[in-house]
Structures are given as C-alpha cells and as structure tokens.
Structure 1
Amino acid sequence: MAARASPATSLSRWRMCGTAAVRVRLVCAVLCVMCVLCSGGVRAGLYSESDQVAILSPDNVDAVLFNSPSAALLEFYASWCGHCVAFSPVWKKLALDIKEWKLAVYLAAIDCADESNRAVCVRFGITGYPSLRFLPAFSSNDSTGEDLRGFSRDVAGLRHLIIDKLESHKHPGPPACPPLEKTSAREIDSYVENSRGQNLALVFEEDDSYVGREVILDLLQYENITVRRVLRSEEELVSRLSVTDFPSVYLYKTHTNFTRLPVLKEARAFYSYALQRLPGVVREGKPRPEVSDFIRNETEEQWRPFNKTRVYMSDLESALHYSLRVELASHLVISGEALIALRGYVSVLDKYFPGRPPVKNALKAVNDWLQKQKVTSINYSDFREALDTTSADSYLPKAVRWMGCQGSKQHYRGYPCAMWTLFHTLTVQALETESKDPQEVLQAMRRYVSSFFGCRPCAVHFKNMAQESMDNVNSLRAAVLWLWSRHNRVNARLAGELSEDPHFPKVQWPPPDLCPACHSLKPGGEHTWLQDEVLAFLRNYYSAQHLLHDFLSDDIAPPLTERRKAREAVPVQEQEAGGEVEEEEMVEEVDGAPQDEKSASEALPRKPSIVGLRLRQFREDIVDLDSFIVQHYKAKAPLKRQDTEDEQHVRRTKRDLAAQEVEGLALEMEAEPEPYGHSRSTRWMFVLSVGFSRLDVSLCVTLYLLSTLCIVAMCLYFRVKRRQRRTKVALP
C-alpha cells in the first residue's frame, strides 16, 4: 500500500498491531452478520445471501459501505440487463473465491432496476450497467468510490484488480489486511527471533506473480500461521534455502531448519489448502481441535475411529430411520405437495437404495402401501404403522449410529451429512442402473428438503440453488455432477460458521489427498476440476460394492415375538410341506428366549413339529442323538400334558432318526475313504458309543483296565503261593 511502512519494519509493526487488528476483525464480523440478517436469505435480483454477496438496499447501504474497517467492491446492475445476467456467475464465483478475504475486502451488489433502489443508484451517479465501484476502508458518507472502467470479466483478473487496489490503498487501510509487499532475509531473521514458535510460510515467486499475495489473503482468518512472499530477486534467501522452483512454498523455522511444503501442484489453491491444515493452524475465533474432544461423557456415545475414504452403510440406514421415523413424525397429517414429496422420496429409495435385503424389502413394502393410497392426505400414524410392519425378511432398523458422519461433538455433522451422503449414493445408483429420468433423484431431494427438512434456512438455500439450474440437468452424469457441485457450494458458504466441526473443516471435496486426478490447473495457473475424473471418483466412492458394512445396527432381524407372529400366521400345512427348520432357530426360540417369551410360548399351545428337519452330515464333534433330541424338546416337559398323537409322532420320529443316524454312519464308513489322521477303529468306537456320553465311555475303559490289573495281580499271587507249597513238600 502507498502509506505502508518500509519492508524492514512491516513485520514488526504488524505484530504490534495484532491486538487492535483482532478488535477490528470482530467489528467487521458484526457488520457482516448485520448484512446477512438484512438480506434474510431472500433472493433479490440476480443474487442471494448464499452467494456471499452483500445485497444492498436503501435501508442498509450506509451501515454496510461507509465507515467500515473493510474495503468494498460494489456492483451496480439491472436485472433486465443481458450483460449483467451474463456477468453474475463470474461475480458469484469471485465472491466464493475470496470468501476468506472478507475482513479486508468484501463484495456487494445492488439492483438498480428495482425502483426502491433508484435513489441509491442516482446518489452514486450510475448511468450504465454493470458498473463497479471500489470503496476504500473508512469511506465517508458522501463518498461515491472509485469508478472502475474496463474491468476484467473473469475471476482471476478481478482478483488481481482487488489486490492492486489493496496495495495502493490510501491511509488508513483495512487494519485486518496483512502486509502484501515482498520481504527480505533481514526481516525474516528478525521475525523468527520473536515469533514464539508460530508457523512461518515463505512463498517464493517471480516479480509479477500474484500467488504469494493471494495465499496471504487466503490465510487472513487463520491463527498460528504467517505467510510472506519472497521474490526471486531476493538472492540471499533463495540461496539459503536452495530454491529452484518458482512458485514454491517453504516452512521456515531457522536458517538451518526448513522444509518444502508438499503439494500436488505448485499453485495457490493447493498452497492454501495445505497451509490451512497444518497442525495448530485454526480459524480465528475457533477453538483448537484437541484429542480430548473425542472423549465423551457417560451420556454420549463413544467415538469410533472410521475410514475417511469410504462410505458406511450405517450412515445410510441411520439417515433412513431419522428421516422416516423422526423428521416426518412432526407432520401429523401429510397432504398436498408434502404427500407428493413423500411418495417421490420413498419411490427413489425403493428403486435405488443399495441396502441389505431386509431393508430393501421394507422400503418396497412401504412404497407399495403409499402407491395404493388414492387419497389426498394420509395420517403419519398410518404411514408409521406401514413402516413398522415387519416380517422375517422385511425390516428397517430403529437406530441411529453415525460412522463416517459422526462429529467430534454431538451437535456436529450427523444427520445433514448423512442426508447428503444418501442422495449422492442415490444419484450414483440411478446412473449405474441406467434410470430413464435423469432428474428423478434430484427432484425427489428438492421436494423432500422443501417439505420436510427441519432446517428451514437450509431448505431455502437449497431451493434457490435448485431454481437456478436443476431443470437444465438432462443426463444421469450431469445429475451426479450437479449435486456434487452444489454440495461444494454449500461447503464454501458454511466454512468458518459456528456449525463447522473443527475436526472436519468444510473444504472443496474431494480434496487433493483423496483424489489427486480430480484437480488440475488452467494455463494461467487457476485451479480447475477435471469433471470426468470427478465423475469416475464419485461412481467408485458411492458405489454399492464400495460401501462398508461395519458397525451396522444389530436389530436388522425383527424381535423374536414379531418373527413368531409372522410364522404362526402361515398355515401349519405350508410349514410341513416346505419348511426346513434350522437347528439354530429352534435353539434360539426354545433355549435362548427370555423367560417372559418362554412363558408366552407355554401359554399359547402349538403343535410340535419335527417334519422337515434335516439329518445332519457326519462330523467328528457330533454329540449323541439322544442329547440332541433332549436339547430341542426339553422345554415341553413342564407342560405335563397327556400323551397326544403329536407327541407319539415326535417319539416315533426320534426313533426313526436314531435308526437313520446309525444306518447312515455305517453306509458312510463303507463308502467314504478314511481321512488323514482317522482310523476305522475310531469310527467303530464312535458307533459303539451311540447312546453314551464321552464320560461314560471313559469310565468304562478305566474300570476295564483296573479290573484287568486286579486279575493279573491275583494270578501272580496264587502262582507264587503254589510255588512255595511245592517247595515245602519237596523238603525231607
């Protein structure tokens, strides 16, 4: 800037004014909040509050523009002007691109086609559109700003124009604006001696480069980081660090302790992203993320480490449960547009949700029920009853378990993150299944958010984005990319807000470390997305085959009582005709059920059936058949009923199974070859032990050995006695 001190003293002066700069930043932040509140999220002309553009009106123009500690770049336009309409996307991109610069300079706009704004436009002497005016910081009420003629119509050119105006700013300049001039080796050495361990990043660049100044302003709202630019002509620093590439960034601690910043490409966007995520670097006013944030108290769910590069099915199922059972529950009666939105939402879930079979069956059942309702309104209680009607193969878990969407604290991330993830997944599944309607999922999301999403300002913002260009989506590929780009716009708008999780900052996604191929540079050094690579990444990231099924809810199977009711509803003849009763299910119902369910089963007489039970194949660790039968029918003993034909049938079946088991073993021994480590004697020992436990067999063998030893001892005793007797007779 023209009024700045010499480069040798700028760093020290900046440190001395740090406290004052913080106070000014707070004042500026309050003014920005006032600007947002004045706009109220309502669309005005070509811009809305979500575009990061301050929308001016006669009521707020004096408070926003004059005596402000920040400079302002103001656009005067007419909503009917074709050139203004064509320029508006550039202005919106510029506002998002320099969002971090707000404490030094911000963008504003006013629609002169609105008759209520005519007095403001006349006051500034506007006669043509679009017109740009630069208002310095602390401008007086009678100032009309500097008229900018022949301004660039691209983001990079406008960004450079803003930097030029900040550097030539007359005194007093924006107090929050850091020094943008070049630095020297003497300055750096002086700073390091008094920095107290603060991160220092040096951007080495050519004399005519804007990269260093752009990175400095990008880090304007971050603490514990200082960025300075070093020109190629500063030979002492260049030789000290052995710099060969321009531009490049080095993290500098001492003249012998420095490292080059590793980035995917040498450009402003990658430098800013890497520096903002250095350890200890946080946005001003935000608490530093600490490991203790993940230690929950007894009332909160404990933190579960997760894979940040994958999507969890647990998040998708939790989003379903919360939206269908919690969010919809606030609408006692659903009718009109809301009912259309609900039908569309459930329809796309039925078609494209890549869930487990029971969940997909439940969604299909609910969708069929909704389509059969030929009324103009339904009660939520009826919808909930249809949703909760379950069977053995149709069930929607009733639990919320965030994994990839869990936040460092309970009020961060969670449901909004999971809903974005859900609709990204649905758009990708629609593409993979080659849906005929490219807007089916997007329109379902648009109606659902408009009718049911609990955050109403969020719903308004999404509605505004949808009105801009959603109707222009004409392919499934475009639908996937449209939702991705709008999600990034929301991330840019919410970056730095109170809702941002400090452990998971809002970034343009996917970041370079997750998808290097998605990022590239234009010939002028501007960052650009390679949309073909982005699409390939999204198709893989949200594919059904790539979903992680870890930490899923354990209640995917309905409770035992519900499964029993479903099974009892089936005629007994159908069970006997085609039913194969698995051992695990019988054990679970008879032995593993709680006491109240056992008593319930005893109170409801059921015909015991063993028809269709499969004869198990021979295994070495099989327990005898009698214990197997007792295990499955011991729950029938307390009933103390007289023998019935069914019980006699069970006993006959038991005897038949025992005969089949022995016969099958004999045939198996004759037909199958001996496995390694097993002899025929082992097989015969198993056959001889039928009806006895292993303990019984062991005791029998032990007694047999003991009796043999006793007989041998007795034989030896009598043999010795006989020899003694013969010796006595032979003596004279």
Structure 2
Amino acid sequence: MARRCGRATSLLSGQIHFCSRSATKSAVWMCLCLLFRSAAEAGLYTATDQIISLTPDTVPSVLVNSTAVILVEFYASWCGHCISFSKTYKTLARDIKEWKPAVDLAAMDCAADVNRFTCGMFGIRGYPSIKLFRAYSKPESTGQILRGFPRDLQGLRHLIIDKLEKHEEPWPPACPPLEPASQAEIDSFFETNNVQHLALIFENVNSYVGREVTLDLLQFDNIAVRRVLNTEEGLITKLGVTEFPSCYLYYPGGNYTRLRVNIEARTFYSYALQRLPGVVRSGKPPPVKTELLQNNTEEPWKPFNRSRVYMADLESTLHYSLRSELAAYPSIRGAALNALKKYISVLKKYFPGRPMVMNLLWSADSWLQKQTGDAVSYEAFREILDNSEQLPDTALPEGLTWVGCQGSQPHFRRYPCGVWTLFHVLTVQAMNSSDPQEVLSAMRDYIGIFFGCRPCAEHFKTMAEESMAEVITTKMAVLWLWTIHNRVNNRLAGALSEDPNFPKIEWPSPELCSACHTVKENGDHKWNQEEVLPFFVSYYSKNTILTDYLEDESLILEKQREKHASEARKRVGRQAGEATGSMTNPLSTQPTAQEHEEEEDNEEEEEGPQDEAVVDEEARYVDGAEEMVSKTSESPWSKSDLGSRRQVHRKLSIVGIRMREQQEDIVDLDSFVNRHYKAKALRLAASSRVKQRTLQRKEEQEPAPVFGLGMELDGGLGMVGLQPLETHFNIDVGQPGKRLQKRELTGEYFGAEVEMSHRRRWMTALSIGFSKVDISLCVILYFLSFMCLLAMYLFFKNRLRLRRAKTALP
C-alpha cells in the first residue's frame, strides 16, 4: 500500500488535558496491567495476520495523510470479547487482502503501557472499538467511531463497502468506481479505457457481489469490473441475461460471452477472472511462455503434470535439507540435535522413497540414536549421508532435479515448494500413526531451528503455537497443515517471491477439486472438508507419486562407489605424502659442509623459474603414474615380481634436503623421484666436487643410477619405497640441454644392485621403516619370550617328576 508520511504536528505532540481519574479506577487499571503484563506485551496479532500493529511511533505514518482508508481496532489483550473477535478480524484481513491499495486494517493494544496514552487521546473507553480513518486524514483527526459494528465476516465486509461509497473527497486514488454502470458507459468504455477484458456482473440492488469482485480485482491489470443492476433493461436484453447474479465478458464491437463458473458467487468469479489470458498482477512481469522456458539452455523446462507429485522433488528436498541446510551447523547440539533426531525418525518411518534412500534413512536414524552425547559434528553425520561405510544398496542421490516444484526463474519456488510437498506427503503417510502430532512437531522443530529463511521460520512457529495444540487426530493433522499452507499462500500472494506462472492461491483450485469448494447460505465461500481430506489422501498417496526424471539406482550406486574409490586413493596419497615428508629429517648422520653448500644451491634453483616444457612433461608423467596406481591389478610387476620386491626394500635416508610443502592430496610421483635422484646427486657431488643439476632444470646431470618409485605400500606405515629403474631405461645425457626421451616406472633393479649379498637383502627387507632401536626391542622381546617358555617347561617337568615319585612309594 502506497503511503505518504506527513510531517505536520499531530495530536501526539499537542498539549492535551485529560480529566483526573479517581484513585480507585487507577489502582484497578494498574492491577490489570500487572496481572496481564505478558499478554499485553504479546498482543493478539502478529506479522503473519496481515494487520498493522500500531504504536505511538507508527501512528503518524500510518493514519495521517494515507492514500487508503484505514480500519483500526482498539482492544485490550486481557479482554475476553477482544480475544473472541480477534479470530474474525484476522479472517477479515485475509479475506480482503486484495483490497489493500484502497483499504487496510490496523490494531492497537490499549493494555500495553506504551499505548495507553494514545488510546486515551483517541477517546477509547471500551473494548473492542473500531474507528475508520478516511484517506488523507489530517493530523488532528481522531477517526470515525463505528458503533454497533457487526461481529461476522460478511457484515464487516459490507460495512467497509458502504463506508467507501460514502467517502468524501478526496477519494482514495486506488479505489475503483463502485456505483452501478449504465448502458451508455459500457458502450463507450473501450474508447476511454485501455484494458483487455471488461467483466459485467449483473445482480440485484441489494447484492454486494459486484462491488466485492471489483475490489478483488483491484491489484490486477488488463481487466476492469463493473456492476450492472437488474434494472438496466437495455444491457440485459442485449446480452440475454436471465440469472442474477451472473458474469459476462464484454469486448469491443459488442462481442460478449458468459463466464462459466461452478457456483455463481464472489469467490468463483474472482478466481476465474484473475486467470484470464493477459490478466497479471500490477507490477509483476507477465508469465513466461512454456516454449521460451523449453528453449532455455541453462536449465530447460521439464514438462510435468500439475495434478501429481514427483519423487524427484522429494529427493531433491532431502538432498538440500540434509547436505546444504544442515551444513550451516558444524556442531549440532542440544535442542537442534533433538530436532534432527525427530526429523530423521519421521523420514525413516513415513518417507515413501526408493529402497536405497530408505536404507540410508534407516542407517542415519540408527547412527543418531546411538549418539548419547549432547552434540554431534556435521562432518560425522555427512559421512553417514555419503555412506562412507559402503553399505550395500544405500544412497541418497546428490544434486537437485526440480520437476513439479520448478519455477519460471531460478529464484522461484523450488526448495520451499519441496518442503511443503514433503511434509504434506508425510502427514498423509502417517494417518495410521498413534501420535497425531508426530509429523507436525518434527516439522515445527526442524523449520524453527534449521530452515534458512528465518522470518519464514518465525512465522511458522507462531502459527504452530496458536493452533497446533488443537490437533488431536491424524486427519486433523492433514487438514491443519493444509490450512496453514493456505494462510501462507494468502499472505505471500503478490509478493516478489510469487512466480507469475504459479500464482499463490488457496489450494486446491476449483480445477483440481471442484467438490472441495462450496458456499454458505449467505453466498460466502466455504471449504467442503469432507471432500478436501479424500482429495489430499489421493493426491499425496505414495501410490500416485510419479518417478519421472529420476536417475537409475544402479547408476547412483556406481557413482557412489567411484566417489569412495577416488577418496580412498586420495587418502592413500596423503598418507604417502606424510610418510615421505618424515624422511626429510636427518636420522643419524650430520650433513657435511659440501652438502650444506649443495642444499643452498639447490634451494636457489628450486626458487627460480622452470622450463615450461619440463613442467608439462612432469605433469604428463604424474598422470601416467596415477593411472598405474589405479590399475595395480594389471601392472606387470604386481604378480610375479611381488615376492622379490618385498625382499629388496631398502631403508631410505635422504640427508640435508628440505622438502617443499605438499600442495595437494595427490602424490607427486615425479617430484618424489626427483628428490631421491637429487639425494644421489648430492652424494656424488660430495665425492667428485662436481655440481649437478636436478631434473627440473633444462640441463641433465651426469649419468648416475636412477631410481624409480615402487608402488607397493608398506602395510604398517603406509610408506612408499624407492626402487632403481630398469637397465634399459634410456636417458640421453650426452649433450647438455637435451630432454628426457623416455621415462617410465618399473620394479626391476640394475645388475649391480641385484648382486647384493643375500644377507644384505634380507636385513634390508626386515629393516625398512624400522630403526635400530625397534629391531633391538624385537630381539629382546623374542629372547624374553623364549626364556619364559623355557622356565615354564622346566617347572612343570620337575613337578610331574615329583608326583610320579610319590605314587611309587609303598
């Protein structure tokens, strides 16, 4: 609603003199305020009720110089009649929501200490009291008191219309004409108005349907509504009108057609007219055509049946809820942990998912129930969601595939739609539960704590606190959630979050369930709950959920296995990196001065720029080595040479070399080889005083034994052993600047190395990864074990000999 805030001095700033009250009355007032202090502070209306809560600070901006007519209720939160009337007032706010540019509702709690002076200034003496403030009210205006106002919805609605018709100038600018139209006006209507549709509602003089529909279409463009009385014989004869009320669509040139509705009543007229072609809400973009959405390359439109639920939406909701929304809480503790346990428990019991999804929910629930502490980490919970234990046929699909909840734009519908759909499905599946509030309480707690839209969460909690306690059966739980959902749709209708292709309406629509809609005796709309419940049970039944656009279970499980295998390789790489890093520290010998010199030179060379060709070659080399790791079963040295390689492991010792920090979780095999090769070069340099360059430089070093990386991992330490390369390893080092022509990994040794003594090979295989202290301790333990066994043997042998000697005596 558009407003202009006047800066004129209001009554609040003037000097106002009130008559003194008796001491007795003041004492009673203070006692009541103290007694009902919490109720006064809370009030009877919240932001979800679409009623403006007035305070002394907001009165000038809301009531003074407003472009709309404001209806204000002055109440006391401790007043029983006020509490009873609040339900009707809330319903009125929802019923005339579309009238807001012309009419708005407000309320002030006079029981609150901060409001008592203002209520007295407006002359409020009893509760509830209603005052009407006309458009463009002056600062000194105290409003028009409505004495004896009706206490029912229809009476209040008609009272507002009567006041609008009698409104003095200036007229509320947003309010359309409410007086009956004549034939002359209709004949020349399109000459002065640029609209696509003109709706004529024929009715009796005492009927309010035409004026109500006119105000209902107030916020929509390309349509106008006019009221025509049954006394306008010319139009009635021209259009052949025989029923009152009835609605006809009139077009230029005198063409017309009757608007077909299930029941000739206000609600059905309004719904049908708002969905005519070209009719859009003011300020909203027109709906996007399906053809344009299908041609969208970013995310093509998925054709779907609007009368069915899709499993893809439910699984996408679970993925976002469990993997994205919960991830905002690294540690889940206290009330949040209890809410999560309830949420997963309800999903396990009532979610109508595929077998692999149900297996995962059972696994997650079992894990949560075993957690006896006050907190769990999300990382641990995420491992359960990702099925790190690799339980068979257990997975929750990753990624989002919205079908029935897709929007015309990426920011429309999707996850909020999925949440509503999920909990509607759960309430229907839980109709045989012994606890009628089981699903609702889980939904309340989850949304209240984890739902990302915090204002939405607070609104839902407020609505749950108001009426959820009244739910005593599972059928009532289904209908309660339906009622709350419609209240939210009513509040969000016309908001920026509303998708033009999917307007917020009270659901189900007459197209989906015509039997769900009926009218009261006075013509007001009424929900036929006896038909709504069977419709919900059928619509959200697990037997009617469509499985279109779902990825095959076997593909999902295969992707999960590949993901776990990739993560396992990365973990092995990290362990190998940590093991190789530990070898950079000198163990027993100190580096010589020459080695210090070589280390400094090498560090300077490492900090310099590298040849791009060499870098590219090294990248290819690492890729090839990683491929060999993933295909160990096919490698030539994984079978016949396995025993011999285990016998020739050597204890690695690289002295005086500082390893560069590991940047990734992948083992850089080339760098590993280069570092060992550099160590050999350092040892040669120490004896020959000839400076050699590393493999990372353009020039190659002098021929020397080149070592490869054996891919076998030590089972106890997770270390990687270095092994010499093959004798046929060809490196052309004759000319400086030549590149390596062939680089490969192998498990064979040079002939000189194979000629080691059997004892040396045996000790090397035993001592890899162990220090001399470790070996000494093992020998001592074996010796002590042997001595213990020998002592036990001698003890029992002597005891048996003594027993035999005693039995031999006469």
TM-score, normalised relative to structure 1: 0.71
State the shift of 1:411 in Å. 0.4
Which residue is equivalent to 1:285? 283
Which residue is equivalent to 2:101? 103
Which residue is equivalent to 2:49? 51
Alignment of 1:319-358 (within 5 A): 319-358=317-356
Alignment of 1:359-508 (within 5 A): 359-389=357-387, 390-431=390-431, 434-508=432-506
Which residue is equivalent to 1:227? 225
Distance in 2 between the 1:560 and 1:244 partners? 67
3-state secondary structure, aligned to 1:285: coil
Distance in 2 between the 1:283 and 1:277 partners? 10
- Greater relative contact order, per chain length (Cα 8 Å cut-off, separation 6+): 1
Distance in 2 between the 1:564 and 1:165 partners? 69
Which amino acid in structure 2 is aligned with residue 549 of structure 1? T
Which residue is equivalent to 1:270? 268
Distance in 1 between the 2:59 and 2:293 partners? 44
1:150 to 148, 153, 166: 148
Count of aligned residue pairs for this structure pair: 543
Which residue is equivalent to 1:723? none
Which residue is equivalent to 2:705? none
Alpha carbons 1:391, 1:558 under 8 Å: kept:
no
Distance in 2 between the 1:327 and 1:63 partners? 39
State the shift of 1:283 in Å. 0.8
Distance in 1 between the 2:273 and 2:235 partners? 20
Distance in 1 between the 2:145 and 2:544 partners? 55
Distance in 2 between the 1:478 and 1:170 partners? 48
Distance in 2 between the 1:547 and 1:508 partners? 22
Task: Label 1:147 to 1:600 Cα distance change in 2 as closer, same or farther (>3 A).
Answer: farther
Which residue is equivalent to 1:557? 556
3-state secondary structure, aligned to 1:557: helix
Which residue is equivalent to 2:131? 133
Alignment of 1:519-530 (within 5 A): 519-530=517-528
Which residue is equivalent to 1:304? 302
Task: Label 1:597 to 1:225 Cα distance change in 2 as closer, same or farther (>3 A).
Answer: farther
State the shift of 1:600 in Å. 5.6
- Write out per-residue CA displacement over residues 611-638 of structure 1, whole angstroms, 9 at most, x where no aligned residue: xxxxxxxxxxxxxxxxxxxxxxxxxxxx
Distance in 2 between the 1:119 and 1:559 partners? 71
Which amino acid in structure 2 is aligned with residue 182 of structure 1? P
3-state secondary structure, aligned to 2:631: helix
Alignment of 1:2-81 (within 5 A): 26-27=2-3, 44-81=42-79
Alpha carbons 1:391, 1:563 under 8 Å: kept:
no
State the shift of 1:254 in Å. 4.0
Distance in 2 between the 1:108 and 1:477 partners? 35
State the shift of 1:598 in Å. 7.9
State the shift of 1:73 in Å. 0.6
Alpha carbons 1:293, 1:408 under 8 Å: kept:
no
State the shift of 1:553 in Å. 3.1
Distance in 1 between the 2:119 and 2:3 partners? 27
Task: Label 1:124 to 1:565 Cα distance change in 2 as closer, same or farther (>3 A).
Answer: closer
Task: Label 1:87 to 1:600 Cα distance change in 2 as closer, same or farther (>3 A).
Answer: farther
State the shift of 1:320 in Å. 0.3
Distance in 2 between the 1:29 and 1:101 partners? 21
Task: Label 1:479 to 1:443 Cα distance change in 2 as closer, same or farther (>3 A).
Answer: same
Which amino acid in structure 2 is aligned with residue 392 of structure 1? P
Alpha carbons 1:222, 1:283 under 8 Å: kept:
yes
3-state secondary structure, aligned to 2:332: strand
3-state secondary structure, aligned to 1:113: coil
Task: Label 1:330 to 1:234 Cα distance change in 2 as closer, same or farther (>3 A).
Answer: same
Which amino acid in structure 1 is aligned with residue 405 of structure 2? C
TM-score, normalised relative to structure 2: 0.65
The answer to whether structure 1 residue 599 and structure 2 residue 627 are counterparts is no
Which residue is equivalent to 2:293? 294
State the shift of 1:336 in Å. 0.6
Which amino acid in structure 1 is aligned with residue 526 of structure 2? T
State the shift of 1:597 in Å. 10
State the shift of 1:302 in Å. 1.1
- Write out per-residue CA displacement over residues 339-382 of structure 1, whole angstroms, 9 at most, x where no aligned residue: 01000000000000001111111100100000001110000000
Distance in 2 between the 1:452 and 1:272 partners? 38
Distance in 2 between the 1:601 and 1:523 partners? 82
- Write out per-residue CA displacement over residues 45-95 of structure 1, whole angstroms, 9 at most, x where no aligned residue: 000111110100011011101111111110000000000000001000000
3-state secondary structure, aligned to 2:243: coil
3-state secondary structure, aligned to 2:301: coil
Alignment of 1:179-218 (within 5 A): 179-196=177-194, 198-218=196-216
Alpha carbons 2:357, 2:396 under 8 Å: kept:
yes
3-state secondary structure, aligned to 1:159: helix
Distance in 2 between the 1:564 and 1:113 partners? 63
Q: Percent identity?
A: 58
The answer to whether structure 1 residue 542 and structure 2 residue 540 are counterparts is yes
69-78 vs 197-206, greater mean Cα deviation: 197-206
Alpha carbons 1:28, 1:103 under 8 Å: kept:
no
Which amino acid in structure 2 is aligned with residue 245 of structure 1? E
Distance in 2 between the 1:319 and 1:43 partners? 38
State the shift of 1:257 in Å. 1.3
Task: Label 1:462 to 1:387 Cα distance change in 2 as closer, same or farther (>3 A).
Answer: same
Alpha carbons 1:203, 1:249 under 8 Å: kept:
yes
Which residue is equivalent to 1:646? none
Alpha carbons 2:395, 2:560 under 8 Å: kept:
no
Distance in 2 between the 1:267 and 1:381 partners? 57
Which residue is equivalent to 1:91? 89
Alpha carbons 1:399, 1:553 under 8 Å: kept:
no
Distance in 2 between the 1:165 and 1:132 partners? 13
Distance in 2 between the 1:489 and 1:104 partners? 22
Which amino acid in structure 1 is aligned with residue 207 of structure 2? S
CA RMSD of aligned residues (A): 2.4
3-state secondary structure, aligned to 1:463: helix
State the shift of 1:474 in Å. 0.5
Unaligned runs of 5+ in 1: 1-24, 32-41, 567-594, 607-732
State the shift of 1:262 in Å. 1.4
State the shift of 1:552 in Å. 1.0
Alpha carbons 2:195, 2:223 under 8 Å: kept:
no
75-84 vs 389-398, greater mean Cα deviation: 389-398
Which amino acid in structure 2 is aligned with residue 562 of structure 1? R
3-state secondary structure, aligned to 1:201: strand
- Write out per-residue CA displacement over residues 534-580 of structure 1, whole angstroms, 9 at most, x where no aligned residue: 111000000000100000134663126728989xxxxxxxxxxxxxx
Alpha carbons 2:44, 2:86 under 8 Å: kept:
yes
State the shift of 1:192 in Å. 2.6
Which amino acid in structure 2 is aligned with residue 133 of structure 1? K
Which amino acid in structure 1 is aligned with residue 558 of structure 2? P
Alpha carbons 1:319, 1:415 under 8 Å: kept:
yes
Unaligned runs of 5+ in 2: 8-39, 566-626, 640-810
Task: Label 1:29 to 1:226 Cα distance change in 2 as closer, same or farther (>3 A).
Answer: farther
Alignment of 1:152-167 (within 5 A): 152-167=150-165
